[in-house]
Amino acid sequence: MSRTERVYHRIVVWLVFTILALPLLVTLLYALATQWGATILPSGFTLQWMKNLWSDPRFLVALGHSLLICFGALAFSLVLMLPAMFVIAYYFPRLEAVMNILILLPFAIPPVVSSVGLLQLYSAPPLMLTGTPWILIGCYFTIALPFIYRAIANNMQAINLKELIDAAHLLGASTGQAALLVVLPNLRKGASIAVLLSFSFLIGEFVFANLLTGTSYETLQVYLYNMRSGSGHFTSALVISYFLVVLVVTWLANTLNRKRG
């Protein structure tokens, strides 16, 4: 690659980065602005909007609700899907074609339609789950399922699952021991990618949270929707805080993944 091509590629990368970062930067400036009207730049800067947001108990509760539901759904997905995917990949590889179709079903039905059906099913005994976090964990499990399955399935294909198990058998390990001690550590990268991708998607989910729980179990996105009529500076501070939460979780996950590696 010539020097001119390298310069061109860098210009393109920085241009794309600038286009993506510019809306976030403007939102940050508005969250820190004392007043921003007809001028190009704010008249001053303050941390008061951020302070008001992070001192609001309702926001902290909504943030805790969102984190609890997201991590609960992701933990449930991994505990259920990892053994199922191992069994399919090792014992029943022909079922992978069926699974590739089944995992797309959550995206085939619009969230509004699904919410109406869930309201009719779980708003009366014996399972009155509407307005509780349990119904959201179940919904978010179905949303995260395609991301988790696809990422881990690709990882399984890359590590040659059958060859690893056969090698472990030759060394005297049982299939269960091989799955726990050999296969599972090699799936760490695929699982971490699946979790981070799913988390960034789930924490921003609004339709299910608004229709199935609303203010009875207010999540971050529902809180943002309910505060939309307030100050634009306060709302911008909320958006930036939401982005920072996702960024911190991603950084922590990557750091832990490197230390384990």
The secondary structure of 1-42 as a DSSP string is --HHHHHHHHHHHHHHHHHHHHHHHHHHHHHHBS--SSSSS-
1.10.3720.10, 1.10.540.10, 3.90.550.10, 3.10.580.10: CATH of 57-259 = 1.10.3720.10
pTM value is 0.85
What's residue 153's pLDDT? Answer: 87
Composition of the chain by helix, strand, coil, percent to 5: 80, 0, 20
| 115 contacts 58 by C-beta, under 8 angstroms | no
The mean-pLDDT minimum among 20-24, 35-39, 55-59, 60-64 falls in 35-39
Give the mean pLDDT of 77-93.
88
Instruction: Report percent pLDDT > 70 for the chain.
Output: 98
**Of residues 105 and 133, more confidently modeled:** 133
Q: Is the pLDDT of residue 74 over 60?
A: yes
CA dihedral (169, 171, 176, 182) in degrees, to 10, reads -110
Q: What is the pLDDT of residues 179-226, one digit of tens each?
A: 888 888 888 888 888 888 888 889 988 999 999 998 889 999 899 888
Of 3-7, 19-23, 42-46, the range with the highest mean pLDDT is 19-23
What are the extents of the domains in the chain?
Answer: 1-45, 57-259
Distance CA 28, CA 35 (A): 13
What's residue 260's pLDDT? Answer: 61
Give the mean pLDDT of 229-236.
83
3-class secondary structure, 45: strand
